[in-house]
Structure 1
Amino acid sequence: MTVVPALYPVTVAHVRTGPRRYVLRHRTYLWLVDPDHPPRLPRPLRPLARFDPRDHFTGDRPTIRAGLDGFLAAHGMSLDGGHVLMLTHARVLGHVFNPLTLYWCHGPDGTLRCVVAEVHNTYGGRHCYLLRPDQAGTARTGKRFYVSPFFPVDGGYRMRLPPPDRRLHLTVHLDRAGGRAFTATVRGVRRAATPTALLRLALRHPWSTLAVSAAIRFHGIRLYLRGLPVQPRPHDHRTPGEPT
């Protein structure tokens, strides 16, 4: 079993293949935690990593695990007390932005039952996908949530989400009627979540979640200025507890 908590310094790449090719890469770091047992940090470092239930699912549950269990129950599922691995950004200095949080959900015997992919957009909306990966860690689902202003809500995702180990290697493809439109990858190597490792990463990537949000907006402006048409944003930002 993967040891948690852990830190993953990662490189995130976005490759847009249509209607205009565009590549974005940035470096940040992610946490792998057990939401039932979030890390206990020394008091001076606590502003650098906070895991707040308000930032996940419906935002009104007392714990992140309670939010996850409520989402699964709405889809007729239960983990029967099995453990969960959660890959996410922590709240840093009061700010958080999580484009993608992943939950690997296991039964009491340790068997993987499902993966939940929680997606946030820059408009304050969030949506969760319930996935059932195959033996290779690959799952497919239709796109049901507005993320990029340059893509409508159509097509489908093909995600490769093997459970994190010493290396993290995730891939998300967006396929539309005309072919593959977008690919996102996350690559990293696990480090022990020691106070020293966290402090080094926080100094190397200050205001890490704010930087991610700012980078997405900056590159969105660049694409707009290059003439990429903006797709109308639906009024509906589905709540994560709503069955799909």
Structure 2
Amino acid sequence: MSGWAAGAALYRCEVRHVRTHLERHSLRHRTYMWLVDIDDMPTVPWPLSLLAGFARSDQLAAEPQGLRAGLDAYLADEGVDLDGGRVLLLTHARVAGYVFNPLSVYWCHDPQGRLVCVAAEVHNTYGGRHRYLLRPDADGRLRADKAFYVSPFLPVDGEYTLRLPEPGRLLDITVRLDLDGTHALTATVKGTRLRAGTATLLRESLRKPLSTLAVSLAIRWHGVRLLLKGLPRHPRPIPRKATRDSHHRTGSRS
């Protein structure tokens, strides 16, 4: 493995969304994502850095002291102390200076390697970001009330049920939104782990050129299709004054 990629992994992914609220609509998109240790982020050499870059500003918790300090401060506000435990982050890297992360996931461990909590960070196409701190309920499921505007075709309402097992050989994520007692939307991200390094990055970049821009454009294209189908739109809430870290607190629920 190339030295710059030590401790990181790439996942060749397929993203699927199935919407059943008011109008059935589905989309499928292929991309690739990175799994990185936030204390050992890849430093990609030039010119490969055009294909994979990592910046503090790409993540909501990042502060001048670094991503780890920002995440620890966020977790401390929630009463969580990892005591230096490992944190793995699933995310897109910058490609040609551009990045869009619909969903980034942090798996947060204690010093013994036990999973303490999961943080799911959602970005919308309007430049907004929001984090959900997740802990398993009595049935081992992760739940959170929806509290962030993502799509103009769905209200800021309902409840998420998430399946976020820590990636190994396979990546298998499911996010379901329940609205008015019915399944409104189900999103899945399934992927296969690849050996991170120069050859893999070049191959995946050729397979999915400008991958993060493609994700953003695909979301907008499907938004146009929903608009043409005549779905009602929900107005975007007026943004509140920015704080250091906008987040939503969730706890164990039975």
CA distance in 1 between partners of 2:9 and 2:188 (Å)? 19
Check 1:146–1:211 CA distance in 2 against 1; reply closer, same or farther (3 A cut).
same
Deviations, residues 93-152 of structure 1 (Å, cap 9, x unaligned): 100000000000000111100000000000000000000136986300100000011011
CA distance in 1 between partners of 2:51 and 2:145 (Å)? 35
Match of 2:245 in 1: 241
Structure 2: gaps (5+ residues): 1-5, 249-254
Pairing 1:168–2:171 present:
yes
TM-score with structure 2 setting the length: 0.90
Pairing 1:130–2:133 present:
yes
Match of 1:48 in 2: 51
| SS at 2:16 equivalent | strand
CA distance in 2 between partners of 1:45 and 1:84 (Å)? 25
CA distance in 1 between partners of 2:25 and 2:140 (Å)? 27
1:156 is displaced (CA, Å) by 0.6
Match of 1:140 in 2: 143
Match of 1:115 in 2: 118
* Greater alpha carbon shift after TM alignment, 213-222 vs 125-134: 125-134
Query: How many residues were matched structurally?
Result: 242
| SS at 2:206 equivalent | helix
Deviations, residues 167-224 of structure 1 (Å, cap 9, x unaligned): 0100000001140100000011100101100011011111110000000001001100
Pairing 1:73–2:68 present:
no
- 1:34 aligned residue (37, 53, 63): 37
- 2:161 aligned residue (158, 162, 166): 158
CA distance in 2 between partners of 1:143 and 1:178 (Å)? 14
Name the aligned partner's letter for residue 46 of structure 1: S
- Following TM superposition, the consecutive aligned residue runs of length 4 or more in structure 1 with deviations greater than 4 angstroms are 134-137, 237-240
1:90-101 residue pairs with structure 2 within 5 A? 90-101=93-104
Structure 1: gaps (5+ residues): none
Name the aligned partner's letter for residue 155 of structure 1: G
Check 1:60–1:82 CA distance in 2 against 1; reply closer, same or farther (3 A cut).
closer
- 1:63 aligned residue (56, 63, 66): 66
Name the aligned partner's letter for residue 245 of structure 2: G
Whether contact under 8 Å (1:20, 1:228) holds in the other structure is: yes
CA distance in 1 between partners of 2:139 and 2:199 (Å)? 35
| SS at 1:190 equivalent | strand
Check 1:243–1:167 CA distance in 2 against 1; reply closer, same or farther (3 A cut).
closer
Q: How large is the RMSD of aligned CA atoms in angstroms?
A: 1.8
TM-score with structure 1 setting the length: 0.94
Match of 1:185 in 2: 188
CA distance in 1 between partners of 2:169 and 2:244 (Å)? 30
Match of 1:210 in 2: 213
Pairing 1:82–2:85 present:
yes
Match of 2:108 in 1: 105
CA distance in 1 between partners of 2:160 and 2:107 (Å)? 18
Check 1:178–1:99 CA distance in 2 against 1; reply closer, same or farther (3 A cut).
same
* Greater alpha carbon shift after TM alignment, 160-169 vs 72-81: 72-81
- 2:8 aligned residue (5, 10, 16): 5
| SS at 2:153 equivalent | coil
1:240 is displaced (CA, Å) by 6.9
Name the aligned partner's letter for residue 107 of structure 1: D
Aligned sequence identity (%): 58
Whether contact under 8 Å (2:132, 2:247) holds in the other structure is: no
